[in-house]
Amino acid sequence: MSQYYKDADDLLRIYGYFLDRVLKDEKIGTKMSKAGIIIKFIYTDPDCEITIDLKNPPKPGYYGTFYLGPCDLQEDVWSKQSADHSHRFWHGIENPIASVTKGLVKQGGKVTAMLKLLPVVKPAFQMFPVALRELGLDHLIVSKG
């Protein structure tokens, strides 16, 4: 039972709002787009998936395209984790290396290309709580410790 998300629709609504901000952000988006890959995030509890396309041309004003829910695009790399773990990751309080070491995150494909994105998305850790606040979801904001 997820600590943060009621169901898949709830997760997709929150991530949709957040990713819309991230992929429009000039500083983060520019660097993300250099990765040139398609990433599929597979979430459990609730089960759903999100695909981020950093390979094909995005629509104007964006540096990448995201798809909420199943998507036909063939991913270059995938990452599977619980929705709650992902929620904490976007707050910057999960060590991604430790998460893989402990098997909390599974991944496959061009993993090294995705790894290069880690420092790039770090500024988004500040944006996620802001997005939650803007959605009126202050109670979902997680603090360290």
Give residues in contact with other proteins (CB under 8 A): 95-102, 107, 111-112, 115-116, 118-119, 122
Q: Smallest distance from the beta carbon of 132 to other proteins, in angstroms?
A: 23
Q: Smallest distance from the beta carbon of 58 to other proteins, in angstroms?
A: 22
73/115 with CB nearer other proteins: 115
13/80 with CB nearer other proteins: 80
Q: Smallest distance from the beta carbon of 118 to other proteins, in angstroms?
A: 6
Q: Smallest distance from the beta carbon of 67 to other proteins, in angstroms?
A: 26
6/106 with CB nearer other proteins: 106
Euclidean distance between CA atoms 62 and 36, whole angstroms: 14
Q: DSSP for 81-102?
A: EEHHHHHHHTTT-S-HHHHHHT
How far is C-alpha 76 from the geometric centre of its chain's CA atoms? 15
CA dihedral of 16, 139, 80, 11, whole degrees rounded to 10: -40
Three-class DSSP category at 7: coil
Q: Smallest distance from the beta carbon of 119 to other proteins, in angstroms?
A: 4
Q: Is the peptide bond before 46 cis (omega within 30 degrees of 0)?
A: yes
65/99 with CB nearer other proteins: 99
98/130 with CB nearer other proteins: 98
Three-class DSSP category at 115: helix
